Every structure is written in C-alpha cells, then in structure tokens.
C-alpha cells in the first residue's frame, strides 16, 4: 500500500507498548517514513526524555513548544502553525502542560500557573483516577481537531500498565456523572473509537513475554475501548541468511578452504545457537499472527551503539517497505 495513503487512514496514530520495546524508536521511524512520503508530521511526546530528539540528531529533550526534527521549523513569531510537507515537528505534552492549557482555555489563566506549581494536579489526580490521561488525550484531540499536521504520532507513556493510558477515558466516562470532566472524557472516547481519526499501533518484540502481553493488551483495547488497531509493529525482527543452514565443514569444502575439527565445531556451535534463536523469533511472530490477526510491520534490529539519523533512515526505509507490502484495507481492521 502507498505509504502516504496508509498513514492518511487516520489523523492520530498512538504508538503503544511496554517500556523498552522500542516505542520511541518506532514513533520516530513512523514519522520519518510518513514525512518521506510527503506528509507533514507532528510527534507528541509525553515524557520529555532525550531519546526522541537524539534519533533525529537533535541534542536535549523536546520541550513544550514545537521544534523541527526534520525540515524547516516554526518561525520566531510562531505564525507558521504547521510542519511543512515532508517535515517532522515534535512537542512535549505532560499532564501539567495539558492542565495549564485546559484552565487557560476556560478563563482560569491567572490561577492556573499557581495551581500547577502548588501540586494541585496531584490532589486532583488522586481524587479522580484517569484525569491525567484524559487531560493529555483531550489536548491531543484538540490538536487533531485543529488540523495541526497531516499526521500526529503519539509516543504513548510506558509507566505502569502502558495500556491504562488509553482505557482511562472510558473508565472515567463510566464513573463521572456530568460536568466538564465527563465531557472531556466523552470527547476522548469518541476520538479513540473513530478509525478515521485515531488508530493504535502496538509495538512488540518477537519474544514470548512481549508477544503475550501485546496480544492481551491489544485485545483489551479493542474490546473494552473500541480502539482500532492499525497493524502491529514487530521491532528488532531478525531473519538469518540461508547460508546459516549449511554446516561449517561443508561451507569450507565448497569454497576450497580447509577447516580443522575444533574450528569447525566452534563455528557450528555458534551457527546452531543462532539458528535456534531465529527459530524462536519465527515461532513468536507466527503465534502473534494467529492470536492477533493484524498486518505485521517488521522492523530490523540495527546494530549500532545508539540510534541516530543514519539508523533512523535505515529503519524508516524498512517501515516504508513494510507498509508498501501491505494489502489495501478491506475494512476489517
Ligand atoms: N530496531 C532496533 N534496533 C536496535 N536497537 C533498537 C531498535 N529499537 C529500539 N532500539 C533500542 O532499544 C532501546 C529502547 O528503545 P526505545 O525506543 O527507547 O523504547 P521505549 O520507548 O519503548 O522505551 C533504545 O536504546 C533503542 O535505541
Ligand atoms: Mg520511550
């Protein structure tokens, strides 16, 4: 499927999964892939960590004001409201940021800063579980409604059970009787349930535990919240070259080299170890396909000390290739 068309199926893409599976990397990869197809992309980051900027070669964490990670940035006067075609901007959005904006939008600008600095959000958050998530997603909804970019990619938080972030709004909707909080939760649920506006992209590693957890949480999101899952990203997928099947001694003989017993044994031990590991990967992606029948976007493991612009380019190319290999949607996703 065409990359721009695939990404345009929905305005907001929520990249979700347990901590460490590669959410931030996949967020950056999807954004870069969409941008290379000509879309304008805004990444919304919720933790203010360093990782996202680093992948694009930017030093330091991303702040509240949008910054350009690819292409030209917002101008100083702040009049350029949208990333250019092929550009990626990013901004951070914490519950405090979202609360400040919410209060500001509701005529409480002057008190809002003091409320946040005195930790009032913590009190509210304890009294109304899920309010943080609803505030943040409410802001995302506002960005989506304002058409801030062709595509908004949200790097979902990893804290606790990663998926509660997305189930909070429906929980709150059940609990709150009325008022602005209920309205905000209702708007968020509406966003989450509309596949033309929002889809979730679960990320997993091709390993037993992550696959089991991904299957479980994806089903929960679909069944309990009615969220649409775009595809599942298998990060750090590895496939061995066919030569790995050939015993070392045979390979040596075929190429006219002499290989002694101990060397050949050592090579075969390494080869068998690797084969066994790759078989486990295949087993897990097979199980994932059976238990969560979604298209899989497989991203390779890159061998580098950290992921910078060159690695990101490589991953984005793999992402684009995987999307191009997908069949057109048949309405069942
Ligand atoms: N495809 C990949 N190949 C190699 N390293 C990866 C890949 N994806 C993620 N990583 C590395 O794994 C670590 C965790 O990734 P990250 O995207 O920060 O995960 P999360 O946001 O889910 O916590 C980082 O050090 C990152 O550079
Ligand atoms: Mg992260």
Mean pLDDT of the 272-276 span: 93
Alpha-carbon gap, residue 82 to 141, rounded angstroms: 16
Distance between Cα 57 and ligand 1 center (Å)? 15
Instruction: Render pLDDT for 102-141 as a digit per residue (tens, 0 to 9).
Output: 777 877 777 777 777 777 767 777 777 778 888 889 999 9
Lowest mean pLDDT among 145-159, 204-218, 312-326: 145-159
pLDDT of 261 > 90? The answer is: no
Alpha-carbon gap, residue 187 to 194, rounded angstroms: 11
- CB of 306 within 6 A of ligand 1: the answer is yes
Instruction: Render pLDDT for 206-252 as a digit per residue (tens, 0 to 9).
Output: 999 999 999 999 998 899 889 999 899 999 999 888 888 888 888 88
Alpha-carbon gap, residue 229 to 77, rounded angstroms: 38
Q: Please report how the helices 131-145 and 120-127 are oriented relative to each other, as an axis angle in degrees rounded to 10.
A: 100
Tell me the two tokens of residue 59: 């030093």
- CB of 308 within 6 A of ligand 1: the answer is no
Which ligand does the CA of 162 lie closest to? 1
Average pLDDT, the chain: 88
**DSSP run (H or E) holding 33:** helix 23-36
Tell me the two tokens of residue 237: 């997928």
- CB of 22 within 6 A of ligand 1: the answer is yes
Which residue CA neighbors atom 11 of ligand 1 most closely?
22
- CB of 210 within 6 A of ligand 1: the answer is no
Alpha-carbon gap, residue 164 to 106, rounded angstroms: 27
Name the E strands within 47-150: 67-70, 88-92
The DSSP string of 174-221 is HH--SHHHHHHHHHHHHHHH-TTTEEEEEEE-SSHHHHHHHHHHHHHI
- CB of 234 within 6 A of ligand 1: the answer is no
- CB of 224 within 6 A of ligand 1: the answer is no
- CB of 205 within 6 A of ligand 1: the answer is no
What is the residue extent of each domain of the chain?
3-94+138-241+288-324
Which residue CA neighbors atom 10 of ligand 1 most closely?
22
54-92 CB burial, b ≥16 within 10 A, e <16: bbbebeebbeeebbbbbeeebeeeeeeebbbebbbbbbb
Atom of ligand 1 nearest to the CA of 21: 22
Q: Which backbone phi and psi does 299 adopt, to 5 degrees? A: -115, 135
Number of Cβ within a 10 Å radius of residue 290? 9
Distance between Cα 177 and ligand 2 center (Å)? 35
pTM: 0.91
Mean pLDDT of the 255-272 span: 88
- What CATH class has 3-94+138-241+288-324? alpha beta
Atom of ligand 1 nearest to the CA of 203: 22
- CB of 20 within 6 A of ligand 1: the answer is yes
| Closest to 25 (Cα-Cα) out of 205, 280, 151 | 205
The DSSP string of 136-186 is HHHHHHHHHHTT-SSEEEEE---SSSTTHHHHHHHHHHHH--SHHHHHHHH
pLDDT band at 333; cut points 50, 70, 90? very low
Atom of ligand 1 nearest to the CA of 299: 1
Instruction: Render pLDDT for 160-170 as a digit per residue (tens, 0 to 9).
Output: 556 678 888 88
Distance between Cα 235 and ligand 1 center (Å)? 8
Alpha-carbon gap, residue 259 to 127, rounded angstroms: 71
- CB of 314 within 6 A of ligand 1: the answer is no
- CB of 23 within 6 A of ligand 1: the answer is yes
* Residue from 15, 23, 25 whose mutation best tests the ligand 1 pocket (most atoms within 8 A of CB): 25
Instruction: Render pLDDT for 17-46 as a digit per residue (tens, 0 to 9).
Output: 988 999 999 999 999 999 999 999 999 998
């Amino acid at each position: 499927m065409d990359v721009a068309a695939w990404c345009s199926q929905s305005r907001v893409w929520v990249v979700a999964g347990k901590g460490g599976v590669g959410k931030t990397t996949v967020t950056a990869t999807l954004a870069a892939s969409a941008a290379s197809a000509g879309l304008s992309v805004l990444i919304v980051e919720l933790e203010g960590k360093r990782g996202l900027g680093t992948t694009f070669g930017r030093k330091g964490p991303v702040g509240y004001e949008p910054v350009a990670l690819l292409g030209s940035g917002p101008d100083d006067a702040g009049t350029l409201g949208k990333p250019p075609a092929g550009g990626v901007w990013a901004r951070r959005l914490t519950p405090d940021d979202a609360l400040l904006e919410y209060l500001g939008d509701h005529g409480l600008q002057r008190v809002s800063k003091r409320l946040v600095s005195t930790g009032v959000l913590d009190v509210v958050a304890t009294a109304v579980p899920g309010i943080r998530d609803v505030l943040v997603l409410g802001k995302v909804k506002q960005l989506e409604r304002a058409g801030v970019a062709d595509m908004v990619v949200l790097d979902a938080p990893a804290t606790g059970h990663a998926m509660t972030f997305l189930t909070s709004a429906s929980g709150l909707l059940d609990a709150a009787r009325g008022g602005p909080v209920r309205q905000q939760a209702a708007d968020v649920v509406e966003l989450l349930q509309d596949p033309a506006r929002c889809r979730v992209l679960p990320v997993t590693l091709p390993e037993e535990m992550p696959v089991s957890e991904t299957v479980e949480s994806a089903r929960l999101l679909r069944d309990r919240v009615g969220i649409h899952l775009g595809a599942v990203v298998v990060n750090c997928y590895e496939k061995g070259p066919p030569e790995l099947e050939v015993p070392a001694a045979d390979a040596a003989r075929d190429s006219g080299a002499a290989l002694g017993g101990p060397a050949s044994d050592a090579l075969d031990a390494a080869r068998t170890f690797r084969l066994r590991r790759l078989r486990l990967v295949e087993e897990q992606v097979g199980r994932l396909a059976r238990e969560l029948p979604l298209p899989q976007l497989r991203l390779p493991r890159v061998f580098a000390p950290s992921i910078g612009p060159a690695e990101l380019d490589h991953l984005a190319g793999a992402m684009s290739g995987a999307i191009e290999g997908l069949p057109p949607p048949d309405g069942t996703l």
